[in-house]
Amino acid sequence: MKPVLGIETSCDETAAAVVDANGHILSEAVLSQLAEHAPYGGVVPEIAARTHLRYLPEQVRHTMAKAGLGFADLGGVAATSGPGLIGGLIVGSQFAKGIAIANGLPFIAVNHLEAHALTARLPGLVEGGAPFPYLLFLLSGGHSQCIAVTGVGRHVRLGGTVDDAAGEAFDKVAKLLKLDWPGGPALETIATEGDPASHKFPRPMIRRPGCDLSFSGLKTAVAQTMMRIGPDLTRTQRADVAASFQRAVVDVLSDRAVHAMDMMRDQYPGANLLVVAGGVASNTSIRTALATAAASRGFRLVAPPIRLCSDNAVMVAWAGVERLRLGHSDSLDFKARPRWPLDTLEAVPS
């Protein structure tokens, strides 16, 4: 099987990568749009789409040249086709279809969430591999979900957020604290200076049955605390709030992960792998706490390298490899989908 070109344009990273059938990353490139969106304190969809349109062709050319390949050397072209910002999804998927049409290649419409889910199966990433089934704890700016991954295109939702995703909560609290954007990494950095016991923030849904999550009440508690302190917080006060908030999130995620592992073990007795993915999975405190939680239930924690936690094209190309290997490709009339839940994917015959 020949290598696959992956294209990722679901939000504010313009990325391309080439991965071969053995999981070797032949080349990869990620262009962050931080400078374009920073003045607005968040991602502006129209700017994101126009920036993808401007830079994606060169990203692909550069990535293919670095891999030493022409399009005729590929086995297929995979592009994130949902969920995400519709403008960016259209840019990436249509560009991929153009390459596929011009070179007679299969096109693979990749679900962004499944790409995160399958990253753990990159050969060499996990000692002994990551056979199905395994538990995925997906933590990003748009999604917080506990998913039983039982095969390619086979996902069972065990629970998820009923309001804000974990990454969204980090960004909103960082904005309240007047930290730089993107907020998650900035909040994690300043939290290292603070006292996590300085504020007693709530732990929403902790110890409840199931593994659903909620962060809106925690976010509100932070806002109310800051109003009581006053408008001009010192750096020490901001650090204390950040550390206390982060500790509350860590406690909630650890508790929800334990419940999810119990649910997973009930339904799939042989499961013993907890995979954490998404941008929030790069948070060191969260990784450490989830490793402890996993060990308490006899699971192993797998957290991809930080560069593969945030949006990237390696995971898209690998998802394309996984699907092509099973004989699956998509029609060129496949329409990009801003919403595309994992548990609505069509199972791919193994």
In a domain, 16, yes or no: yes
Whether residue 111 sits in one domain with residue 13: yes
In a domain, 349, yes or no: no
Whole-angstrom Cα distance, residue 226 to residue 241? 8
Whether residue 330 sits in one domain with residue 294: no
Whether residue 64 sits in one domain with residue 21: yes
Residue 29's CATH number: 3.30.420.40
Whether residue 217 sits in one domain with residue 295: yes
pLDDT tens for 27-81 read 999 999 988 998 988 899 999 999 999 999 999 999 999 999 999 999 999 999 9
Whether residue 153 sits in one domain with residue 92: no
In a domain, 126, yes or no: no
Whole-angstrom Cα distance, residue 200 to residue 172? 19
Nearest by Cα to 275 from 311, 255, 303, 316:
303
Count how many residues are written for the chain: 350
Per-residue pLDDT at 166 exceeds 80: yes
pLDDT tens for 230-286 read 888 999 999 999 999 999 999 999 999 999 999 999 999 999 999 999 989 999 999
- What is the gyration radius of the CA atoms in the chain, in angstroms? 20
Sign for the CA dihedral angle at 152, 137, 318, 320 comes to positive
Whole-angstrom Cα distance, residue 171 to residue 11? 15
Per-residue confidence (pLDDT) for residue 251, from 0 to 100: 98
Whole-angstrom Cα distance, residue 227 to residue 91? 43
- Judged by average pLDDT, the poorest of 62-66, 220-224, 229-233, 318-322 is 229-233
* Averaged confidence pLDDT in the chain: 95
Whole-angstrom Cα distance, residue 209 to residue 205? 9
What mean pLDDT do residues 6-13 have? 96
Whether residue 221 sits in one domain with residue 113: no
Q: What are the C-alpha distances in Å from 99 to residues 63, 104, 107?
A: 14, 8, 9
Beta bridge partners of 76: 4
Whole-angstrom Cα distance, residue 18 to residue 3? 7
Q: Which two tokens stand for residue 28?
A: 């990869």
144-151 and 134-139: which strand pairing? Answer: antiparallel
Per-residue confidence (pLDDT) for residue 213, from 0 to 100: 95
Per-residue pLDDT at 346 exceeds 90: no
Type of residue numbered 230: G
Confidence class of residue 143 from pLDDT cuts 50, 70 and 90? confident
In a domain, 162, yes or no: yes
Q: Is the pTM of this model over 0.85?
A: yes
Q: Rounded to an integer, what is the distance from CA 283 to the centroid of its chain?
A: 12
In a domain, 78, yes or no: yes
Whether residue 280 sits in one domain with residue 194: yes
Cβ atoms of 21 and 3 within 8 Å: the answer is yes
Per-residue pLDDT at 100 exceeds 90: yes
Q: How many domains does the chain have?
A: 2
In a domain, 123, yes or no: no
Whether residue 213 sits in one domain with residue 294: yes
Whether residue 337 sits in one domain with residue 285: no
What mean pLDDT do residues 320-329 have? 97
Type of residue numbered 63: T
Provide the residue range defining the domain that includes 201: 131-303
Whether residue 203 sits in one domain with residue 55: no
Per-residue confidence (pLDDT) for residue 350, from 0 to 100: 74
In a domain, 172, yes or no: yes
Whether residue 114 sits in one domain with residue 169: no
Whole-angstrom Cα distance, residue 276 to residue 289? 12
DSSP, collapsed to helix, strand or coil, labels residue 28 as strand
Whether residue 137 sits in one domain with residue 256: yes
In a domain, 124, yes or no: no
Residue with structure tokens 């070179």? 103
Confidence class of residue 125 from pLDDT cuts 50, 70 and 90? confident
